[in-house]
Structure 1
Amino acid sequence: MAELHQAPTSLCCCRKSLPVSGGPFAGDKQPSASPGPRVSRGPLVDVASVSNFRCFQLCHLHLDLKLNFAVKEMSGWLVLDLVPVQPAVCTLVLDSHPSLLIHSIDCKVPEDGQEAPVSLTYRVDPFTDYGSSLSISLPSGTVKPGRRIQITIRYTTTDGPAIWWLDSELTCGQSCPLVFTQGHSVCNRSFFPCFDTPAVKSTYTAAVRVPEGMTVLMSASQSSYSKQDRIFHFSMEFPVPSYLVALVAGQLEHADLGPRSRVWAEPCLLSCAVKKLGGSVEHWLDVAEDLFGPYLWGRCDIVFLP
């Protein structure tokens, strides 16, 4: 987080200011600050996000995705349940990425009993070397403070910085490909358009379709699997920032480490994972609870990657 009038000259993907070329060295003496009148400071903003997240309350987001390992592609749609909190908001600005292809965007106002969604116009503009801005024009007259709107974005994403596709040859078993996401700290904008800032937290649900024999895991508190449709369903009941939405899919099996801990890995790695983590995770949870209070997430699942 940084102040509005103190945007850094350069910023890396971890939101850390990079040293300015030609600036003072660490060993140089800095002039002492002279006392003076107190300067009023502007509102805090997240300089790594181009989104107008202060104009909306994000109540919930839903992802519906199909994973295509042959072409290394995720396609589907994102649904955002939003409540405008400021008057005269005519544009929704989200963090996005050049690797993310937008197909269409529409809007519904559930309180109006509107059945047919309204198609929206949008524009994608450059922002930084790690993302772009997605500006969506909202329908005039229907967007009012306190009235919930539902935005659906249909899109495809491939090889963005948050998504790691591994061919079969790069896995331990070398028989099945694997994909996982890593959103920290500003990379999940290449996974799905979002308010990519820790200032915004929401619950989320997801439905993920994969080829037969694949297992999907997400950073969610509840999960289920429909064998008939080959769809994995997930629900996170605790509000989390966008960068904590994570996914992994591949040939994965699990073993319980304790009453509330479990490890997932490829079959050929599972015994090694159990040997390495057995007896440790429950101890970690006990120590964490002594420091910070009860563990709220139910079970702690750990994934061993190739």
Structure 2
Amino acid sequence: MLKNLFFATGVVLLFAGCFSKPEQVASTLKVVDPKEWVDEHTLSNADSVAVRHLHLDIAVDMVNRQISGNALWTINNNHHQKELILDTYDLTIDSVMVDGHLAGYQLDSPIKFLGSALHIPINENTKFVMVHYKTGPRARALQWLDPQQTHDKRAPFLYTQSESIYARSWIPCPDGPGIRFTYTARVTVPQGLMALMSAENSDVVNDTGVYNFRMPIPIPAYLMALAVGDLAFKGIDDRTGVYAEKGMIDKARWEFENVGRMVGSAEQLYGAYRWGRYDVVVLPPGFPIGGMENPKLTFLTPTIIAGDRSLVSLVAHELAHSWSGNLVTNATWNDFWLNEGFTNYFERRIMEQMMGESYSDMLWELGYQDLQNEVMALGADSRDTWLKLDLKGRDPDDGLNSIPYEKGCHFLKMIEKAASRDRFDKFLVKYFDANAFRTITTETFLNYMDTVLIKKDTVLRKALNIDEWVYGPGIPANCPRARQELFSKVDAERTKFLSGMPAEQIAFVNWSAHEWLHFLRGMPDTLRADKMVLLDRAFNFSTTGNSELADEWYLIAIRANYRPAYPAMERFLSTVGRRKFLEPLYIQMMKTPEGQEMARKLYTRYKENYHPLAQESLDRIVLKLP
């Protein structure tokens, strides 16, 4: 288990010195008691055996759906430990070598969520440990797709999703957010396919099927990523570009036209982008989340390609992770808000800079609505609504909800308002620089803020009400709320429609997707069927190409038993694998006997189109599995 603060802040800084010179103020940080930092979700002993570098040499077998090869770890055993312990999940260990010699090993029985600890004997002089292994059929990180499950339907596809603790299902590794290492890789794939990683990538297909990768900046295992498929590349500017299947590449390149501008806007706010290139890859529709901030190469769902650039704020979110999450990383999954709360705040600042305050106000209001709904679902007094989570003995994915995202970013918005934007921005620039390539806890951040931002300002400290936000449930009374300049007009049009105004008379000119989403979210729970018909006839919601609007419309359709929308909803559920969309629809269907029958039929039919992580969630929702 990761037991103390020494590893993450000590060893990591040996690497970080090559990339960033921390501010002098960093030395004034109050030290967190090591007993307060325990990563309950790694079985490794990376706190006492430092892992410095990983070299992967693996082959991807698309026919048998297996990754096999070896993981060579460079370690430092300064604490004279007798074993190296690595995390694994459903891996077959073929052999282990220590400093070039065959060695024994022990693979423990699996623990729920965590997998099996791999024990490897070492001595104080050990430098290299190599594990020969292959993945199993239950690898939670991997989705193997047949050609028919891809956009172009020409070649198979593989992609990984390592967050939160799933890297261990395709690499034997110390798998915790507070454990960083550099890596290189040699990946062999079937000829004609392209391999990409969260590293320096090629933009052309290698005829040999062998690809070499290099990540010289230390990253945690959850940012290890691999994608293999029939992919093409198009540049956006000299440091940004997009990968996608060939039949989608032109559409994707158009959709992401402004990504280069986003990088520039982010740098104007909080300092230089430190990862070299920023590219994105559009994955097949089974990808279970919106995006994953893998360094140098963001993984994206195709559901944000709406044809009008209306959903690209998600790219701003993943880009912002290049500062919050990838640059400054949460020590444990209990500190997850340091990752996502900061990123949500940063995303909205980027979009405000690019699109204006009225536009970002809509993002803030929709996020506040998500926060309200999450608190209502969890319970206003629930321990799970604290920013500082307690996930001991649980799957860390239990914390992947709107609390760290929305309560976290509203906490930061509140600090901005209390301290002034200029003062808070200067603080954040110092924060990112002083803690670059470091891992911190919630308490370390609060100590840093107290030292650098609050100082002796007792009025500000009282106004922030920190304990209620971080160590208290629900939504604090001083939670900021965005202006309703645009949404108030939407509310007025919705009210007129519900009072009898024809749908065609709704004053929707120049409405964005966010305004339409707010329009639909405000509909009564039991909208009458005749109103559904009028809206659908006027605006074609059942067949919209905007996934956010489609999902909201189908939720309303299920509640209203609006059957004309069901064929389009089935097509949606057959192709979209994003849990954000799947889970609410299946939950809504399961509320009535008729809906339960429909949910079981649809889930049985399309289950294999979904990522293993989505399947786990839907097994519980639809099949009532534990």
Q: Structure 2 length as normaliser, TM-score? A: 0.39
| Preserved contact between residue 103 and residue 121 of structure 2 (Cα < 8 Å) | no
SS of the residue corresponding to residue 154 of structure 2 reads: coil
Answer whether contact 1:65 1:77 (CA < 8 A) is retained: yes
CA displacement, residues 20-55 of structure 1 (integer Å, 9 cap, x when unaligned) = xxxxxxxxxxxxxxxxxxxx8725110011111111
1:26 matched to which residue of 2? none
SS in 2 for 1:95: strand
Match of 2:96 in 1: 105
Distance 1:69 1:222 in 2: 21
CA offset at residue 2 of structure 1? 10
Q: Secondary structure at the match of 2:98?
A: strand
Calculate percent identity across the aligned residue pairs. 32
Q: Find out whether 1:230 has 2:223 as its counterpart.
A: no
Deviation beyond 6 Å, 4+ runs, structure 1: 1-4
Q: Could you tell me how far apart the structure 2 residues matched to 1:238 and 1:121 are?
A: 30
What does residue 13 of structure 1 align with? none
Cα offset, 1:153, TM superposition: 0.3
Work out whether 1:131 is the aligned partner of 2:120.
Answer: no
Distance 1:45 1:187 in 2: 19
**Per-residue CA shift, 1:97-151, capped at 9, x if unaligned?**
02x111001100xxxxxxx52322222322223422112223xxxx21xx45100
Q: Which of 241, 248, 273 pairs up with 1:295?
A: 273
Q: Which runs of 5+ in 1 are unaligned?
A: 5-39, 109-115
Which shows bigger deviation, 161-170 or 221-230?
221-230
Aligned match of 2:42 in 35, 39, 49?
Answer: 49
Could you tell me whether the CA contact under 8 Å between 1:122 and 1:137 is conserved in 2? no
The residue type paired with residue 238 of structure 1 is I
Within a 5 Å distance, the mapping from 1:206-225 to structure 2 comes to 206-221=185-200, 223=202
- Name the SS for the 2:269 alignment partner: helix
Q: Which has the higher helix share?
A: 2
Deviation of 1:250 (Å): 0.5
- In structure 2, runs of 5+ residues without a counterpart are 5-32, 285-626
What residue is the counterpart of 1:92 in the other structure? Answer: 84
Q: Report how far residue 221 of structure 1 moved.
A: 2.9
CA distance in 2, matches of 1:49, 1:273: 37
- Say if 2:236 is the partner of 1:257: yes
- In the alignment, the residues of structure 2 paired with residue 206 and residue 225 of structure 1 have an alpha-carbon distance, to the nearest angstrom, of 17
Residues 135-154 of structure 1: pairs in structure 2 closer than 5 A: 135-138=119-122, 143-144=123-124, 147-154=125-132
Map of 1:242 onto structure 2:
221
Q: Closer, same or farther in 2 for the Cα pair 1:41/1:253, shift >3 Å?
A: closer
Q: Which amino acid aligns with 1:95?
A: D
Q: Who is 2:76 aligned against?
A: 83
Richer in strand (by share)? 1
1:224 CA drift (Å): 8.8
User: Which one of 64, 74, 77 corresponds to residue 67 of structure 2?
Assistant: 74
Alpha-carbon RMSD: 2.2
- In structure 2, relative to structure 1, the CA distance for the partners of 1:227 and 1:302 (3 Å cut) is closer
Q: Does 1:205 align with 2:184?
A: yes
Describe the shift of the 1:2–1:206 C-alpha distance in structure 2 as closer, same or farther (beyond 3 A): closer
Greater RCO (CA < 8 Å, at least 6 residues apart):
1
Q: From the superposition, tell whether residues 223 and 272 of structure 1 become closer, same or farther in structure 2 (CA, over 3 Å).
A: closer
Secondary structure at 2:47 match in 1: helix
Sort the Cα spacing of 1:73 and 1:232 in 2 relative to 1 into closer, same or farther, 3 A: same
CA distance, structure 1, for counterparts of residue 181 and residue 3 of structure 2: 24
| TM-score normalised per structure 1 | 0.78
AA of the residue aligned to 1:50: L
Q: Compare CA radii of gyration and give the structure with the larger one.
A: 2
Alpha-carbon shift at residue 59 of structure 1 (Å):
1.3
